[in-house]
């Protein structure tokens, strides 16, 4: 019996090693390239037949809660477009809308074009409005009235000055009830403390509506989504609970022909190899599904309308018992479809100063500090350092603040003071 147990152990170990050998290239490939990754295993195995998952219509396989949207009236069917190829650039889409009835006059169209020309990489407006108004001899109120018409063009939220205004733009175009709307405005204007409103009537409705908003507003256009097929769909079901669904219907189907005589060693070996390929495919599904569950656990705030929180690859690697480099390759070229668009899995992982604070969060806070600073006495790098360390409870050095400033195109305090005095900033 001892000999038998040893034989079974060796056989199981051999099967597992074969599966793992197949699993790594299958795991590392994107869903759209999965068939190509399997080709070396399939071409050398006469008992295996693979049917491509591409032979069916992709959109038919996406949960209706994503395709139909979740409460946002959108004549351009934005939820479907979020899962298909973007055929036009952001600027082409905007240019088509810079005309009557929203922008009926030459000056209104010029203002609209100025706003579009001064969008940052996230779709927020950061132009020098005062300078434009002086050049065209109009007052700032007139300029703002035209800019605020961007609340009615797509993508929704574009042209807003910040996240809160972008969400207000999107709120005005949502199907929120009249009763819940005032609370929605109140919560959006106090996003930092959004969960403190949980005991208010209509809180659930507002949170559900906010979860459909795009953040940033140009998220669908930030990278070319051509040939992108998401591995996972994350969406709210009818009970308003988040669900994670594998796009398993898009996987290749593996058929094993067992009509050959299994008494032949060659055939028997090929059938074992084919079964290990099936096991490897199932391991890929299980691994990515677990990644999806962890992303929902750590990034829940994002799916209800908030920011992506700090999450390191090491956290995920520790959960799986793998090296972070293995996890990095595993999430490469993998995508998640949700109500807020199609995002690369890597986007949910941020570089961290420590386990709790991301450099993205610190940069965002730094920008806020500079925007709110006194024009007579701008904040020095040392003062910025003190405020950041106090806010995030981390230890940093002044040169890191200087580096972040340069990355954000923010001048030093003395230079900013000169710009303020000249009215150029």
pLDDT, tens only, 84-97? 334 467 887 898 89
pLDDT at 143: 96
> Residue 199: what pLDDT?
92
User: 359-421 has which CATH code?
Assistant: 1.10.10
Residue 46 has pLDDT above 70, yes or no: yes
Provide the residue ranges of all domains of the chain, joining segments of one domain with +. 2-57+225-348, 87-221, 359-421
Indicate if the pLDDT at residue 51 is higher than 90. Answer: no
Mean pLDDT of 391-413: 81
| Rounded-to-integer distance, Cα 115 and Cα 123, Å | 10
User: Count of CB atoms within 10 A of residue 144's CB?
Assistant: 13
Query: What's the pTM value of the predicted model, to 2 decimals?
Result: 0.47
- Other CB atoms within a 10 A radius of the CB of residue 234 amount to 24
pLDDT of 38 above 90? no
Q: Which residues pair with 352 in a beta bridge?
A: 358
Distance in angstroms (rounded) separating the CA atoms of residues 391 and 344 = 30
> How far apart (Å, rounded) are the C-alpha atoms in residues 32 and 350?
25
Q: Give the pLDDT band (50/70/90) at residue 226.
A: very low
Quick one: pLDDT band at residue 391, thresholds 50, 70, 90?
confident
Q: Quote the pLDDT of residue 84.
A: 36
Residue indicated by tokens 């050398």: 44
For the segment 91-114, the average pLDDT, to the nearest whole number, is 90
What is residue 107's predicted lDDT score, i.e. its pLDDT?
A: 94
pLDDT at 350: 62
Max Cα distance, the chain (Å): 96
């Amino acid at each position: 019996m001892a000999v038998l147990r040893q034989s079974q152990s060796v056989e199981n170990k051999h099967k597992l090693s074969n599966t793992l050998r197949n699993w790594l290239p299958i795991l590392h490939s994107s869903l759209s390239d999965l068939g190509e990754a399997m080709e070396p295993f399939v071409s050398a195995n006469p008992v295996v037949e693979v049917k491509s998952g591409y032979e069916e219509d992709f959109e038919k396989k996406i949960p209706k809660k994503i395709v139909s949207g979740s409460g946002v009236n959108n004549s351009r069917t934005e939820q479907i477009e979020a899962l298909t190829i973007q055929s036009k650039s952001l600027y082409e889409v905007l240019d088509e809308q810079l005309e009557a009835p929203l922008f009926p006059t030459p000056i209104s169209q010029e203002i609209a074009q100025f706003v579009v020309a001064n969008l940052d990489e996230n779709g927020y407006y950061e132009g020098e409005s005062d300078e434009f108004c002086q050049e065209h001899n109009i007052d700032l109120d007139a300029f703002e009235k035209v800019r605020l018409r961007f609340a009615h063009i797509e993508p929704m939220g574009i042209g807003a000055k910040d996240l809160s205004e972008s969400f207000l733009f999107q709120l005005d175009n949502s199907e929120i009830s009249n009763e819940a709307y005032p609370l929605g405005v109140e919560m959006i204007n106090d996003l930092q403390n959004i969960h403190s409103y949980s005991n208010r009537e209509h809180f659930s409705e507002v949170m559900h509506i906010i979860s459909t908003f795009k953040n940033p507003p140009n998220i669908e256009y930030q990278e070319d989504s051509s040939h992108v097929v998401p591995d996972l769909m994350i969406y709210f079901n009818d009970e308003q609970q988040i669900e994670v669904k594998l796009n398993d219907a898009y996987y290749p189907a593996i058929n094993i022909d067992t009509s050959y005589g299994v008494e032949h060693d060659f055939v028997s070996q090929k059938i074992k190899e084919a079964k290990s390929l099936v096991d490897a495919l199932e391991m890929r599904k299980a691994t990515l599904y677990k990644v999806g569950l962890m992303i929902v656990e750590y990034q829940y705030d994002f799916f209800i309308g908030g920011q992506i929180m700090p999450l390191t690859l090491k956290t995920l690697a520790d959960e799986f018992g793998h090296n972070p480099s293995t996890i990095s390759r595993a999430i490469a070229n993998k995508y998640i479809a949700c109500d807020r668009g199609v995002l690369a899995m890597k986007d949910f992982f941020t570089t961290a100063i420590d386990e709790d604070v991301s450099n993205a969060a610190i940069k965002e806070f730094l920008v806020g500090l500079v925007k709110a600073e006194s024009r007579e006495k701008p904040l020095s790098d040392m003062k910025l350092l003190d405020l950041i360390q106090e806010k995030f409870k981390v230890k940093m050095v002044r040169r890191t603040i200087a580096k972040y400033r340069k990355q954000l195109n923010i001048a030093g305090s003395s230079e900013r003071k000169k710009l303020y005095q000249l009215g150029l900033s």
